[in-house]
Amino acid sequence: MLSVIPHFDREIADSLRPVFTKTSGTKTPGATTPFVTLITDLADYPPHFWIERESEYIIVGTERARQQALTIGHDAGHIFQTSGMILKPRFYEKTTVDRVAERKRLGLEPDCPTGIVLFGGYGSKVMVEITRKLNEAGSGVQLILICGHNQKLAAELKNLPTQKPALVVGFAQNVEYYMALADFFIGKPGPGSISEALQFHLPVIVECNSRTLPQERYNAEWVTENGYGIVVPSFKRIAPAVQRLLDRATFDEFRRQVNQYSNQALFEVPAILEQCAQHTAAPTQSQAAV
Find residue 229's DSSP bridge partners. 204
Stretch 90-97: mean pLDDT, rounded?
86
- Answer yes or no: is pLDDT of 131 > 60: yes
- Answer yes or no: is pLDDT of 285 > 70: no
**Three-state SS at 128:** helix
Stretch 185-191: mean pLDDT, rounded?
95
- Answer yes or no: is pLDDT of 24 > 50: no
What are the pLDDT digits (tens) for 139-154? 999 999 999 999 999 9
pLDDT band per the 50, 70, 90 thresholds, residue 21 = very low
- Answer yes or no: is pLDDT of 20 > 90: no
Mean pLDDT lowest among 4-18, 22-36, 148-162, 258-272: 22-36
In what helix (H) or strand (E) does residue 154 lie, and over which residues does it extend? helix 151-158
> What is the per-residue pLDDT for 55?
86
**What percentage of residues in the chain have a pLDDT greater than 70?**
91
pTM value is 0.88
Per the CB < 8 A criterion, the answer to whether 159 and 264 are in contact is no
DSSP state of 24: T
Per the CB < 8 A criterion, the answer to whether 265 and 61 are in contact is yes
- Answer yes or no: is pLDDT of 283 > 80: no
